Amino acid sequence: MKSILIRGGRVVDPASSLDANRDILLKDGRVSAVEAPGKLNGAAKQEDAEVLDAKGLVVAPGLVDIHVHLREPGQGYKETIASGTAAAAAGGFTSVCAMPNTIPVNDSPEITRWMQSPERGAHIRVFPIGAATRGSMGEALTEYGALKAAGAVGVTDDGKPILGESIMRQTLAAAARAGLSVIQHAEDTRMTGGCSMNAGALAFRLGLRGMPVEAESSLVERDIRLLAELKNSRAHLHVAHLSTAKALEAVKRARRNGLHVTCEVAPHHFVLNEEAVSEYNTHAKMNPPLRAEADRQAMLEGIIEGSVDSIATDHAPHAAHEKEQEFERSPNGITGLETALGLTMAVLHGKHKLPLSRIIALLSTQPASVLNLKGRGSLAAGCSADVVLFDPAKSWTFQASASKSKSKNTPFDGWTMLGSVAATISEGRIVYRG
């Protein structure tokens, strides 16, 4: 593996409290040194390192997405691990955590290892998340210790929330013993049967059944209560794709009470509101659905004030023929790996003036911490050589037709974004050049 010298860039590394012009030497898949400009020239020459000119660019730890759907095994016509990770690299991501709702469900060490096999052709590192229950049926727990040993970094039945109190209590306890996080898709499906968008006046006008905010908030509140009853300091509950003010308030109360509860918000939930589906636009149909403007504002405020731990895409590719159906029949989900940085930069940095260090923390450092991905989300010496170089001032237009994903189901086709990725380096390999 050839060494790489990244020279002349603005290094933004929240984990090291660093925001300054620095040169970085990458060697043998690790960060070898971070020094003042010019100090690594001799070492780089000795290593015969490839030189990347980063003048005018931000150099940051590679982005980390803790919520993606790569569709393999079983649904390669939507996405493959190879195509999904190519899209991730183009978006500046160097690590993704893959949800288990595959076919078959990833509820075993064998499938977990299969997903990480070199034969899958991943461009970046894939961290599988194992199913919390067998077949994600919410009845019998999987073998958490064996899943972790095979490489799983958490457990979830994402897409099929764990409704049974007894099973959820067992899940939290068993995951704590194994040292794994429990990720919950917070949706009480007893309230959402036949629903396809957010409940409210717009749903009424469109003649569609709506999902009430309580379907999300009530399950978050229940899970927090179970976590408190467990009284285990190792237990960790992570709320996936949080979308309502009421659920966010529950998370904030839990933290004030000393519980280990974290949450993520997807870019579409702080960029769009329910009006995006007003023309029955299936490319804006997802679960949880786009909410009312007040909830969108609450997600923004939660991110800005620091109540939200991470931004995660919930990248959910579907084939064109699946999305080109009646709104109620169309599957939930949009792609997001190539637009996350651009949307976050445009809205949070460009419009709301959130500092670049906070942007990088939300997209890299903090998600790596949430799931304990050691050596990721930082450019400190010895960490994995995962780096993204991007121009923070450059506007660009996203064209879905040019996406590296196999699927094009996005509401952001033709949108102007901010922050263009110049290069992505995963474990010391250049996997994308803009």
Q: Which amino acid is at 366?
A: Q
In this structure, the answer to whether residues 157 and 227 fall within a common structural domain is yes
Assess contact for 289 and 197: CB atoms under 8 A.
yes
Q: Is the pTM of this model over 0.95?
A: yes
Assign residue 275 the CATH number of its domain.
3.20.20.140
CB atoms under 10 Å from CB of 1, counted, come to: 11
Which pLDDT score is estimated for 319? 98
Within a domain: 143: yes
Q: Are residues 233 and 98 in the same domain?
A: yes
Catalytic pick among 23, 107, 295, 314: 314
Consecutive 10-residue averages of pLDDT for the chain (434 residues): 96 98 98 97 94 98 98 98 98 98 98 98 98 98 98 96 97 98 97 97 98 98 98 94 98 97 98 97 98 98 98 98 97 98 98 98 98 97 98 98 98 98 98 96
Q: Domain of 360?
A: 62-370
Number of domains forming the structure of the chain: 2
Q: Are residues 127 and 107 in the same domain?
A: yes
Pairwise CA distance, residues 22 & 20, whole Å: 6
pLDDT at residue 181, rounded to an integer:
98
Domain check: are 47 and 88 in the same one?
A: no
Q: Is residue 87 part of a domain?
A: yes
The pLDDT, as a whole number, for residue 131 is: 98
Distant-in-sequence contacts of 326-330, Cβ < 8 A, 24+ apart: 326/280, 327/196, 327/197, 327/208, 327/277, 327/280, 327/282, 327/285, 328/194, 328/196, 328/208, 330/282, 330/285
333 and 231 in a common domain: yes
Question: Using an 8 Å Cβ cutoff, are 65 and 388 in contact?
Answer: no
Rounded CA separation 134/117 (Å): 22
- Residue 50 counted as domain residue: yes
Q: Does residue 378 lie within any of the structural domains?
A: no
Q: 39: domain CATH number? A: 2.30.40.10
Q: Is 314 among the residues known to form the active site?
A: yes
For residue 233, the model assigns a pLDDT of 87
Cα–Cα distances (Å) from 305 to 240, 286, 373, 428, in that order, read: 19, 26, 24, 34
Contact yes or no for 297/243 (Cβ under 8 A): no
Answer with the one of 318, 344, 370 that is the final residue of a domain: 370
Shortest CA distance to 319 belongs to which of 73, 70, 77? 77
Phi, psi torsion values for 153, nearest 5 degrees:
-110, 5
pLDDT of residue 232: 87
404 and 278 both lie in a single domain: no
